[in-house]
């Protein structure tokens, strides 16, 4: 499938127009100090000469695009999702800058979704044009934006996903320059979880703090005097958040947040420092990353968790120690949701009478019960669990 996408990239919908040799390529933000406009972004992407592919269209007709840096056939794939929330523009600017700076490493493919919410960016709103927070839609896939990202994750199978955001400070507890958080969902394979935490704590944190920024764990209010955590305020285990969905789809990765109280330049520079950390992680841990993601994709056993997180024990009723063999969908259920199942990479088999069975023993295993079981927080549909396939 990566070969197919490579062909699509080569036949990009955008024809590159190189900048004049005497004029260094710059984003609108670098030239004016103001956020890059929609037209400036498109001109900039053309001028980079990088392969740009349209992966979706927003409700208002704006393209959702994927930019590739490096070979299409590399063993390690790194995906940057930039500014899912339209009023958090620093990540988009950092991605636009960094894509032209990356070395063309033979073993790594870098992918960028530079403007993950183009309608929201145009309106400077958190949600898309329908007011939906697309970072809460990576399970049900109601939005064109989330569907486009699901398509990229399914077809490219990234080993690392770096999700760029910004936050509004909440004094006196939530005032760092830069925050980071790994997937906390308990269904994420241990190798992917542990490497994601290493990426956050040992690489992104190190790079950010070496650049003179303060940083910390996202989603936890910490007492400013003692440094002790007070309460959890972020999404924790929720599988619908990209940070967790990524882990459930076998990618190491993290969410990062820059403090929106800084100047625009400071915010963008902070995001660039975070990208430095992920690049260092990929350079130094490629073998471990590839091993962890491969083991996660191959895992077919273990309990299922409908609650809890790596910092919160699940309730007993939220632990399914003996999962079913699979889930049976009626013909009508399958017809209604086959597109979403396909975008998640979930395979099913035809049963006599027109029903379908989704076996649990497949690559999408970590996500299947969270989508199909009535006990899940937000199932796509309520299918019938069966003990035998």
Residue 188 in tokens: 């994420």
- SS3 at position 166: strand
Residue 327 above 80 pLDDT? yes
CA 245 to chain centroid, in Å, comes to 7
Rounded average pLDDT over 248-255: 98
Residue 9 above 50 pLDDT? no
Q: Which residue has the tokens 């597109």?
A: 339
pLDDT score, position 126: 98
* One-character DSSP codes across 342-376: HHTT---EE-TTS-EEEESSSTTTTTHHHHH-TTS
Residue 39 in tokens: 């037209």
Residue 88 above 60 pLDDT? yes
Residue 214 above 90 pLDDT? yes
CA pair distance 78, 83, nearest whole angstrom: 16
Rounded average pLDDT over 160-169: 95
Q: Residue 174's pLDDT band (boundaries 50, 70, 90)?
A: confident
Rounded average pLDDT over 50-58: 98
Rounded average pLDDT over 242-249: 98
pLDDT score, position 22: 57
Q: Residue 6's pLDDT band (boundaries 50, 70, 90)?
A: very low
Q: Domains in the chain, please, with CATH?
A: 2-298 (3.40.630.10), 323-386 (no CATH)
Rounded average pLDDT over 315-330: 97
Q: What is the mean pLDDT of the chain?
A: 92
pLDDT tens, residue by residue, 14-41: 333 344 445 799 999 999 999 999 999 9
pLDDT score, position 17: 38
Residue 5 vs residue 127, higher pLDDT: 127
Residue 253 above 70 pLDDT? yes
Asked if 148 and 118 count as a contact pair (C-beta separation under 8 A), the reply is: no
CA pair distance 309, 236, nearest whole angstrom: 6
pLDDT score, position 106: 76
Residue 294 above 80 pLDDT? yes
pTM given for the model? 0.93
* One-character DSSP codes across 75-113: SEEEEEEE-SSTT-THHHHHHHHHHHH----TTEEEEEE
């Amino acid at each position: 499938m990566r070969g197919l996408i490579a062909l699509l990239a080569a036949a990009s919908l955008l024809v590159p127009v190189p900048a004049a040799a005497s004029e260094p390529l710059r984003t609108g933000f670098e030239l004016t100090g103001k956020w890059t406009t929609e037209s400036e972004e498109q001109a900039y992407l053309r001028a980079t000469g990088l392969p740009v592919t349209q992966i979706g269209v927003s409700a208002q007709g704006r393209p959702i695009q994927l930019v590739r840096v490096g070979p299409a056939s590399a063993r390690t794939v790194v995906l940057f999702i930039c500014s899912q929330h339209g009023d958090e523009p620093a990540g988009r600017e950092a991605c636009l800058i960094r894509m032209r700076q990356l070395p063309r490493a033979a073993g790594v493919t870098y992918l960028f979704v530079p403007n993950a919410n183009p309608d929201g960016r145009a309106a400077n709103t958190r949600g898309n044009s329908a007011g939906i927070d697309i970072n809460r839609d990576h399970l049900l896939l109601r939005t064109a934006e989330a569907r486009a990202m699901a398509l990229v994750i399914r077809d490219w199978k990234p080993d690392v996903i770096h999700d760029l955001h910004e936050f509004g400070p909440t004094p006196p507890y939530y005032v760092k320059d830069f925050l980071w958080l790994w997937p906390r969902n308990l269904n994420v394979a241990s190798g992917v979880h542990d490497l994601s935490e290493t990426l956050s704590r040992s690489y992104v944190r190190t790079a950010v703090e070496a650049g003179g920024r303060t940083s910390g764990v996202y989603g936890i209010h910490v007492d400013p005097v003692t440094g002790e955590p007070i309460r959890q305020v972020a999404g924790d285990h929720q599988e619908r958040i990209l940070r967790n969905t990524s882990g459930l789809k076998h990618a190491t990765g993290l969410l990062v947040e820059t403090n929106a109280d800084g100047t625009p330049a400071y915010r963008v520079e902070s995001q660039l420092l975070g990208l430095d950390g992920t690049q260092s992680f990929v350079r130094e841990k490629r073998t471990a990353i590839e091993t962890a993601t491969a083991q996660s994709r191959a895992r077919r056993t273990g309990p299922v968790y409908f609650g809890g997180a790596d910092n919160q024990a699940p309730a007993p009723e939220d632990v399914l120690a003996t999962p079913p063999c699979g889930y049976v969908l009626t013909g009508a259920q399958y017809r209604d949701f086959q597109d979403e199942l396909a975008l998640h990479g979930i395979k099913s088999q035809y049963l006599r009478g027109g029903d379908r069975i989704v076996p649990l023993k497949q690559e999408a295993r970590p996500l299947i019960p969270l989508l199909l079981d009535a006990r899940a927080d937000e199932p796509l549909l309520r299918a019938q669990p069966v003990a035998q396939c």
